[in-house]
Amino acid sequence: MDNTFKALVINESTTGFTKEIKEKNLSELTKNDLLIKVSYSSINFKDALSASGNKGVTRKFPHIPGIDAVGTVAESNSKKFPIGSKVLVTGFDLGMNTWGGFGEYISIPEKWAVHLPAGLTEKEAMSYGTAGLTAGLSVCQILQSSTVNSENGKIVVSGATGGVGSIAVSILAKIGFDVLAVSGKKENEYLINSLGAKEVINRNDFIEMYDSKPLAKPTFVAGIDTVGGAILSGMLKSTQYGGIVTCCGMTGSTEVNTSIFPFILRGVHLAGIDSVEASLSVRNLIWGKLSNEWKLSNLEDIITEIGLEELPDKLDEILTGKAKGRYVLKH
């Protein structure tokens, strides 16, 4: 086996952070249960934060980002995943302070891996990636609420052209919900024709509609928020009695401003979503659904496949909120 591999390496210098494609040696990876030859990774908002030097995500540089990866086990100390197993890894410390999927090899503890589900190719698995798992967790949480069904009203999804948002819109549309997509981009055709949203509202119009009121007309049976701030507040104010709003992201803001009225007058639930430390059984449940009853036929429309050379530009695009859909990195 060739002991070198290519990776996007982030370095800290006196003038800031640099992104360079470099050759690394396998001996530089921290020794762990599984050495995996990565076939695909995907590009997430957290990767963009890591690559820009955000110390809340990555403390040590030089660093190889990439919070998810799929590939083949090349060396193994695990009975569960012998050499040649196809595995899928998302979250935990991958791509944060452990070198991640933007390198052709990763070395990880076996408890971070799940078997690639039978119904997914490696590329499909990374077309979902962390964003798909998070969208799946959000949809699952919503469906557990007894008041939520497609007859009772529509569901609102924010950051709708982003990774988590676009997959959430697509899954909800597939299982029969009317979705109102909240987006800052003029992408109505994409949101309606490619993802299956019923209606689209501009992000600022949504904020304006709910900004000044402590409680608004009960409009939505549920909400999936990926951006935080005033949009999350708006969702809470406009959710029907007994409804639920999930919260997973902060591309808009890390704050949320709300009175207690949605909770005490309408019994609205606010549910936090975390994919990073989700248990193995929960991961297997969601990946099972993503590869079966929720499997999207529009994955090719949502993703753009890129190579290592294109990564630096795409990371900048994501950081500034300009990206549409998902970028999948092929090694």
Q: Which residues bind ligand NDP (CB under 6 A)?
A: 44-46, 130-131, 134, 159-165, 183-185, 203, 226-227, 248-252, 273-276, 318, 321, 323
Question: Which single residue brings its beta carbon nearest to ligand NDP?
Answer: 162
Smallest distance, Å, CB 292 to ligand NDP?
22
For the CB of residue 330, give the shortest distance to ligand NDP in the complex, in Å.
Answer: 18
Nearer to ligand NDP by C-beta: 207 or 215? Answer: 207
* Two structure tokens written together for 140: 């699952």
The C-alpha angle with vertex 280 and arms to 276 and 282, in degrees rounded to 5, equals: 80
Smallest gap from Cβ 131 to ligand NDP, in A, equals 5
Q: Helix 122-143 vs helix 163-174: angle between axes, to the nearest 10 degrees?
A: 70
Nearer to ligand NDP by Cβ, of 38 and 131: the residue is 131
- Comparing CB distances to ligand NDP, the nearer of 108 and 227 is 227
Beta strands in 32-167 (DSSP E): 34-43, 68-76, 86-90, 105-108, 113-115, 154-158
Supply the minimum distance, in Å, between the C-beta of residue 80 and ligand NDP: 24
In contact, 154 and 178? CB cutoff 8 Å: yes
Query: Which secondary structure element, helix H or strand E, spans residue 147, and what is its range?
Result: none
Cβ proximity to ligand NDP: between 219 and 251 the closer is: 251
Kindly state the smallest distance separating residue 2's Cβ from ligand NDP, in Å: 33
Rank residues 227 and 290 by Cβ distance to ligand NDP and give the closer one.
227
Residues written for the chain: 331
CA distance 130 to 133: 5
Whole-angstrom distance, CA of residue 80 vs CA of residue 46: 29
